[in-house]
Structure 1
Amino acid sequence: MDFKKILLLLVTIGMLFFLVSGCACMTEPPEEIGRAGSQSGGGSAEGSSSSPAIPAPEFTLNSLDGREVSLSDFRGKVVVLNFWATWCGTCRAEMPNLERAYQAYKDKNVELVGISMDTDTQLVESFVKEVGVTYTILLDPSHRVASDYAIWALPSTYIVDEKGMIVGSEIGQLAESMLKNMLDQALEE
């Protein structure tokens, strides 16, 4: 193999790794969403206490079983909104942590909602069954809700308090311990 072919192969492998790892940028986040919780580019639960809470954009999406589900259906609960896709390697790695957190907090006035960016519902269904996810999965194939939440990388997670205010966020894979800290903080407020 000559040098150009080897270089092309290495560049192609690098690009594929980047895409599979979940680093898919979509757009720059608007300033007001970026201020809620952690700052864009990754942040921490500690950042949520110093940033002003802003109202979470209302939405209605279909669930995997075809029901229409709105954010307002969960008013009075702390809601974890996790934007993900089956093609996002980091999202796939994060889901067991989310499921464990859901099991630990579902009886504590917390709802976990996964919002899939996929266009293939059957692919989402089979993946959710394979991983054993039991929390609510909603479908956003047009990325309308993702746009409203200024999602520019996957996975992205927002914590919405009982009053519908965004009180925390994280871009990238969320460690189970960090999610638990964010939820404990939201439940205390």
Structure 2
Amino acid sequence: MIRILCFLLLVSPWAWAQANFRLTAEVQNPVERKATLVLYRDWVSDEEEYDLVLNDNNQFSFTTALKDIAYIDFFYGNQSFHFWIAELDDNIKLNFDAADFWQTLQVSGNGAEKFQYYVDFRKKFEETRDWQQQAEKWKKQPAGVYFKKLQQEQEIQLGFLSKYGNVSAAFRDTRKADIIGAIQNYKIEALSELKMPLWTSENIRKNMQTDVIPPMAQAASLEYGNAFLNLADLFIAREGQRRKKMLSENQEYQYIKTMRVNKLISKEMAERLLGSKLKNSINANGLTAQIKQNAIEYLKFTNHTGFKNTINQLVFLQQTLVKGAPAKLFSLADSSGKVINLQDFKGKVVLLDFWTSWCGPCVRDMQFSSRIRTHFENKDVVFIQISLDGEYAWKEALTMYKIGGINVRTAENNSILKDYGISGVPAYFLIDKKGNFAFTKVAYPSDNNGKTLTDQIEEALAESP
């Protein structure tokens, strides 16, 4: 959405419109033909991963539309950088020798000064003097000395940032928030480990500089948001100790709302923290009545378009995955190349198992799945394992773990992952004889030694087609 402000004198650096972010690179002595870029548009939406293929001139180009400040990770060969800020209208070019990435890396173009800042910051605060390693050593000193050294480190890093005069105000605010968040997080950890008193609203204002960092930068910053998330978790843990029992997910959610009412966090930070909590709850538990009510209230509360879109999509997806809703059809090839169509199994009960070979719980569940498959031999039950592995790892795992049933594999960009809302593995779906979801929440094969899932399958089998 393009926002037009009528009063130009009041325009803030945070009043953005949509524009492109562009990153190009030229690689000397390439060691492989592909780089990877991960884009974080905000801290509620899922990250996006892109493969950047080098052309015949050993160059690649990436362009995407942005509405707000974003962050990127970049990987090439065995080198990478993480959580660098990307802005609207950036047109940045990288030039490097793959044999000596950091010594040869050159940045140019519109927005390049902030990338140069990151290169220089890495050299000064990670290579020449590893400040995080020093912070771990300071922990051994008395709390007062430790906190004083952290504060001095923060001033040094903020002073270094101030030397870069050609960066945008939005970048400066967000990067300042990153620095403060990263360093104050060490204090927050100490509050927990040393069982020190919780910060008051004045402590939060002073330590986090909430009256200096614009609210939009607070919510956009990776490290600042992480610090507040850890602070919220600490408040929640102490509240649980006071009540002598852990808070439920919903009580945690409501507690963050209370922190906003008590002005411990800004509205923008509340939008981020609540959105993140809500997303995790929906992914873990589906759309229960309480979660649905929280989602309705949250969508009225937040003004952040990205957060709204993410929660709306999750709610919509969960409503299409509930008991009685039709399962999305798919066609995938098995290990021999034969195409498996879900629609071919109408009239039978189908258990879908999304998994990967590197997922410990997935592999553990396979042992119980095998017993359940044996229990339902010669009955109208079909077991389909859908792997998210690469082809080699998938076939190797099939042999290693002797996985029975029907085994197929899907690419990461296949629509089946969106259709079934796959945000993590393992994930299970039970489809009845009519081709509809038999249960909103399917038990794990390992639950109650397989009895719970067996009972669910029996119930689905008993229903008429």
> Given the two structures, how large is their TM-score scaled by the length of structure 1?
0.73
Alignment partner, residue 415 of structure 2: 144
* 2:163 aligned with 1:31: no
- 1:163, distance to aligned residue in structure 2 (A): 0.9
Residue of structure 2 in register with 1:67 after alignment: 338
Instruction: Indicate the RMSD between aligned Cα atoms, in angstroms.
Output: 2.8
Give the structure 2 partner of residue 19 of structure 1: none
Shift of the 167–150 alpha-carbon distance from structure 1 to 2, 3 Å rule, reads same
Q: Which protein is bigger by CA-based radius of gyration?
A: 2
Q: How does 1:130-169 map to 2 (within 5 A)?
A: 130-142=400-412, 143-169=414-440
Cα separation, partners in 2 of 1:188 and 1:52, compared to 1, 3 Å: same
Could you tell me how far apart the structure 2 residues matched to 1:58 and 1:36 are?
13
- Residues 1:105 and 2:376 aligned together: yes
Residue segments in structure 1 that go unaligned for 5+ positions in a row:
8-22, 38-50
Q: CA, structure 1 residues 129+71, in 2 after alignment: closer, same or farther (shift >3 Å)?
A: same
> After superposition, where does 1:121-136 map in structure 2 within 5 Å?
121-136=391-406
Q: Distance in 1 between matches of 2:426 and 2:462?
A: 26
1:179 has 2:311 as partner: no
Greater share of helix residues, 1 or 2? Answer: 2
Q: Does 1:79 align with 2:353?
A: no
Question: For 1:188 and 1:33, how far apart are their aligned partners in 2?
Answer: 28
Amino acid in the other structure paired with 1:139: R
| Offset at residue 171 of structure 1 (A) | 6.9
List gaps (5 residues or longer) in structure 2. 1-132, 140-279, 284-309
Work out the CA distance in 2 between the residues paired with 1:110 and 1:164. Answer: 13
Measured against aligned partners, the alpha-carbon deviations of 1:17-46 in whole angstroms (never above 9, x if no partner) come to xxxxxx9x7x87733553577xxxxxxxxx
Counterparts of 1:78 and 1:172, CA distance in 2: 15
State the identity %.
25
The secondary structure found in structure 2 opposite 1:168 is: coil
Please give the alpha-carbon distance, in whole angstroms, between the structure 2 residues aligned to 1:169 and 1:97: 21
Q: Which amino acid aligns with 2:404?
A: T
Q: Give aligned pairs, total.
A: 158
Q: 1:99 and 1:36, CA in 2 relative to 1: closer, same or farther beyond 3 A? A: farther
State how far apart, in whole Å, the 2-side matches of 1:93 and 1:128 are: 14
Q: 3-state SS of the aligned residue for 1:54?
A: coil
Name the CA shift for 1:171/1:105 in 2 (closer, same or farther; >3 Å).
closer
Are the counterparts in 2 of residues 36 and 169 from structure 1 also a CA contact under 8 Å?
A: no
